[in-house]
């Protein structure tokens, strides 16, 4: 018979596994609909050059929406480990910031060298606004560890995307495909939840501290997302839309796998916010070993999956993309594994550690990638991105060990 401690561990493991399954299933559904239904429709409808421009526009939207929405979400989850959070502390900040981000997105797309017209840019700005709120709004389910509700939330968004396909063919505005899904998700949270209904603008005595934490995380995430999506921005600027399409398809499976880290990280931060135990060097050893295995297995799966999926969905592009499958997937997997490590780092170290990592990451990205594009084109760029992603992973692991060592030194002095 298992003892009480073992039974508690098994129960906790089953709970985390169950929540992870619901969470991952939600995002897999969302990304299957977007990556393997909507994106191929765009490609077939508009051709490589315009499709590359759309991918560029989506990259701009993602930089703003993920940086702001996820940062506010994670800041609230981290704060919930200390005290009960108040809706107004987060709503008072995210609504005006979302509006500013949407306006910036509109102007960037309108004046950029992408041939995006006024109406398309306006709808893209609206999409940016609602996507920011959608990324934040799943905190409704994460605070209560309600991952079945989390799945329903993202299933509703996916259904909205399917509806948007009809709007695309009626109005010929590419952003209309995604806009209904984001709005449907927010309506669901507004009707069933509390974050947009109860004390929506009421603030706590900790409002300034929470704003500081949110803005610091936004800055940190902005650097990460600018680089993660900056590959397509640089390629668009220096090599054109066709290069964007080739690179996007080569890294499609790897980046799709990386999207799984968002729901997995949501489970991790949810449970870490309630974990009061001590992190040890042995735990980091295990983490390091597991992440290396994930990088190896994920890369192999990504390469095999790329040959299958690109051959089926984009048969005319397989010859131009297959030479990049290995390096692009290794790069993407290294990136999403480092995201898992930095999520754990958020719990065991100060937020500024992530900012330091990402500043170094940003500097090396531009220092490596711009000369690589100019000197060796798309192939050189792939190698440069791989180098920066491996560097970020290594720095994240090093900071984990450093944080544990500093924590132990403080306890010894006490």
Q: pLDDT tens digit string along 373-405?
A: 999 999 999 999 999 999 999 998 888 888 776
Reported as a pLDDT band with limits 50, 70 and 90, residue 153 is very high
In Å, how far are 36, 70, 325, 394 from 167, measured between CA atoms? Answer: 18, 28, 34, 45
Dihedral of the alpha carbons of 80, 85, 88, 93, in degrees to the nearest 10: -20
Chain centre distance of CA 380: 25
Reported as a pLDDT band with limits 50, 70 and 90, residue 308 is very high
Phi, psi of 324 (to 5 degrees): -100, 0
Burial class (CB in 10 A: 0-12, 13-18, 19+), 167: middle
d(CA 345, CA 353): 8
Which range among 16-25, 116-125, 334-343 shows the weakest confidence by mean pLDDT?
Answer: 16-25
pLDDT given at position 226:
82
The mean pLDDT of the chain is 85
Give the whole-number percent of the chain exceeding pLDDT 70.
86
H-assigned helices in 112-240: 118-137, 139-142, 147-171, 179-192, 207-238
∠ CA 313-314-317, rounded to 5°: 160
d(CA 371, CA 369): 6
Reported as a pLDDT band with limits 50, 70 and 90, residue 409 is very low
pLDDT given at position 410:
43
Query: Is a pLDDT exceeding 70 seen at residue 269?
Result: no
Dihedral of the alpha carbons of 58, 62, 65, 66, in degrees to the nearest 10: 160
pLDDT given at position 203:
92
């Amino acid at each position: 018979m298992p003892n009480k401690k073992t039974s508690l561990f098994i129960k906790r493991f089953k709970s985390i596994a169950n929540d992870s399954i619901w969470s991952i299933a939600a995002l897999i559904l969302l990304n299957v609909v977007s990556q393997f239904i909507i994106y191929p429709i765009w490609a077939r409808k508009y051709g490589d050059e315009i499709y590359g421009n759309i991918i560029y526009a989506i990259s701009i939207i993602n930089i703003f929406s993920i940086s702001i929405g996820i940062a506010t979400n994670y800041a609230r989850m981290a704060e919930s480990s200390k005290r009960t959070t108040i809706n107004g502390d987060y709503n008072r900040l995210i609504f005006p910031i979302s509006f500013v981000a949407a306006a910036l997105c509109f102007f960037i797309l309108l004046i950029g060298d992408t041939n995006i017209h006024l109406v398309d840019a306006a709808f893209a700005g609206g999409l940016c606004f609602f996507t920011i709120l959608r990324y934040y709004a799943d905190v409704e389910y994460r605070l209560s560890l309600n991952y079945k509700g989390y799945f329903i939330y993202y299933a509703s968004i996916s259904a909205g995307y399917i509806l948007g396909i009809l709007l695309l063919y009626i109005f010929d505005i590419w952003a209309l495909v995604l806009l209904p899904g984001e709005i449907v998700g927010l309506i669901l949270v507004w009707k069933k939840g509390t974050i947009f209904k109860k004390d929506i603008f009421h603030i706590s005595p900790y409002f300034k501290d929470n704003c500081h934490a949110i803005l610091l995380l936004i800055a940190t995430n902005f650097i990460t997302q600018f680089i993660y999506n900056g590959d397509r921005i640089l390629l668009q600027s220096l090599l054109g839309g066709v290069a964007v399409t080739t690179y996007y398809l080569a890294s499609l499976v790897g980046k799709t796998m990386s999207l799984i880290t968002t729901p997995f990280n949501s489970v991790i931060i949810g449970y870490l916010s309630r974990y009061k135990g001590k992190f040890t060097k042995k735990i980091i050893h295990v983490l390091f070993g597991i992440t290396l295995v994930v990088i190896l297995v994920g890369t192999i799966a990504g390469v095999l999956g790329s040959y299958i999926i690109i051959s089926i969905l984009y048969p005319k592009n397989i010859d131009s993309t297959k030479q990049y499958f290995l390096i692009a997937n290794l790069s993407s997997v290294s990136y999403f594994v480092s995201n898992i490590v930095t999520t754990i780092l958020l719990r065991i170290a100060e937020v500024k550690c992530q900012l330091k990592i990402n500043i170094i990451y940003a500097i090396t990205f531009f220092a490596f990638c711009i000369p690589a594009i100019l000197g060796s084109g798309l192939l050189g760029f792939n190698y440069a991105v791989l180098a920066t992603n491996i560097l970020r992973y290594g720095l994240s692991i090093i900071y984990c060990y450093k944080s544990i060592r500093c924590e132990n030194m403080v306890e010894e002095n006490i």
